[in-house]
Homo-oligomer: A and B are copies of this chain.
């Protein structure tokens, strides 16, 4: 086993166990403290709908990197909380369009500010070039494996 390979193995452990879950936990905690009853996963779905409303479930799978059953159940829960509504597509009867309710639209500013604040806390001492490198590496890794 070469030294380089070992370092790469270490990276796996770093990527999967540490920073990403730390950020997610902190953001979830900030939501709770603000009295917001949504999970971080639900928020990540809403995040994409705020950018573009009424996406199909398949499109949400693509944008959130989740599989279809995961999205089905996240949408189930978001629908129970009356944050989204499934609407049949007029052009393709297989498709559900997932659309925001008024309540969800009102969540946007509040949660985006919390998310930005959390990322600012998380990224103290990290500069723009480093952030850019991380994004590029992750995009590259994703492309390599899919």
Q: A65-B18, A123-B141, A126-B141 are in contact. Are A131 and B8 (CB under 8 A)?
A: yes
Asked whether A137 lies within 8 Å of B144 as measured between CB atoms, the reply is no
Q: A14-B135, A121-B145 are in contact. Are A116 and B20 (CB under 8 A)?
A: no
CA distance A116 to B119 in the complex (A): 31
Instruction: Indicate how many identical chains form the complex.
Output: 2
Total A residues in contact with B, Cβ cutoff 8 Å: 60
Distance from A108 Cβ to chain B, minimum over Cβ atoms (Å): 11
For residue A35, CB closer than 8 A to chain B, the reply is: no
A positions within 8 Å CB-CB of B? 1, 4-27, 40, 44, 47, 64-66, 112-113, 115-116, 118-126, 128, 130-131, 133-142, 144-146
